[in-house]
Amino acid sequence: MSAFGFRRMKKRLVILGATGSIGESTLRVVTAHPDRFEVVGLAAGRDAEGLQALARKFNVSKLALAAPNDAGIPFGEQALCDLAAMPEADLVVMAIAGMAGYAPTLAAIEAGHDVALATKEVLVMAGTEVMRRRAAAGVRILPLDSEHSALFQCLQSTASVPACVRVGDEPKAEERIAEVILTASGGPFFKRETIDWSRITVAEALNHPRWEMGPKVTIDSATMMNKGLEMIEALHLFALDPAQLRVWVHPQSIVHSFVHFKDGALLAQLAQPDMALPIQYALTWPDRALHAPVPSMTLAQMQNLEFSEPDLSRFPCLKLVFDALPLGAWTHPILTLANEVAVKAFLAGRITADRIAAVIEQGLARAETDFAAIVRHAEEDVARFA
């Protein structure tokens, strides 16, 4: 029984992307709180064996894979959507990388489920539509990225409500904001005196100094495109204007974001650089857990923290985002889809790292078009640059 005289029911979770780094951290939180959470559905990309092992461990019968498999597990976009929409779910954790997370997110929203969102491409591609459907369905989108979780936590107030969880005519948190500052680790190349992107290897780009993430997100962190996509995600989650967005490089990854309010206050959220913490906050929101899945912060960790403005001349992908945002929302899907095609090509050894920015720039030069055309043109550019 709680202090208020009622028994807390377990929150039933569907986790899409269960075998990846976000899924692993989510299941670590679930394991740490067996009285609070129950996993009722699991999905992954193509790792049938890993998914089945998790199903046995957490006693889950509803499974799905993005890719065909020999294990008899339902697969494909519809299978992922069916899992996201299953009626017994309370919260859908969306951690499928890239474009594959878009349709299942909409399916979860249409089914009336709150979504804990790690797949930033969903909002970057179609944030206006996703947030419109969220409001119409009366559900919440809870951010899982450490930076957006930090903003979300700083915006919590008894007087106003962040846009991503606002229902009806509640007071708007964004009306109190002067600017938000997303922090960035800088990736593996920030401290290099010079960066010759044409010579950067895949292994170098995957060697992140702070975070363990999937390959696509790790490459985006190396180019700092990840921070650009997070800027767009923040626009939609918190109903911001591009002029309200800034980025500071913070190599220690202790301060996860700042909110500068119009009254002059500057609030920051500090925590260990471990994804289990923002995931736990999203899963327990609007409550807070009574214990942490990682060691507590120490005073020593909070000394000698460094912050600096990013040098956009050294990170052309991030510069493209800063240049594109004032042009309008039509640039958002081009930025994410062209980047996704280019990063896959770089990981496969088809293009050099400097061509990632070139593919994105070519996409922006063509101006507004539909999703399929963006992908087709980006693939044509990759072939041309190969």
Contact 51, 19 (CB under 8 A): yes
pLDDT of residue 91: 98
Q: Which residues contact 192 (CB under 8 A, 6 or more apart)?
A: none
Q: Domain 11-144+275-294 belongs to what topology?
A: Rossmann fold (3.40.50)
CA angle 184, 121, 281 (to 5 degrees): 60
Residues of the chain with CATH 3.40.50.720: 11-144+275-294
pLDDT in tens, 162-173: 999 999 899 999
pLDDT of residue 208: 75
pLDDT of residue 223: 94
Report the mean per-residue pLDDT for the chain: 93
Structure confidence at residue 87 as a pLDDT band (50, 70, 90):
very high
pLDDT of residue 188: 83
Q: Is the pLDDT of residue 235 over 90?
A: yes
Q: Is the pLDDT of residue 78 over 90?
A: yes
Structure confidence at residue 238 as a pLDDT band (50, 70, 90):
very high
pLDDT in tens, 111-131: 999 999 998 889 988 899 999
pLDDT in tens, 196-213: 999 999 998 898 766 667
Q: Is the pLDDT of residue 4 over 70?
A: no
Q: In this structure, what is the dihedral angle of CA atoms 274, 275, 278, 284, given to the nearest 10 degrees? A: -110
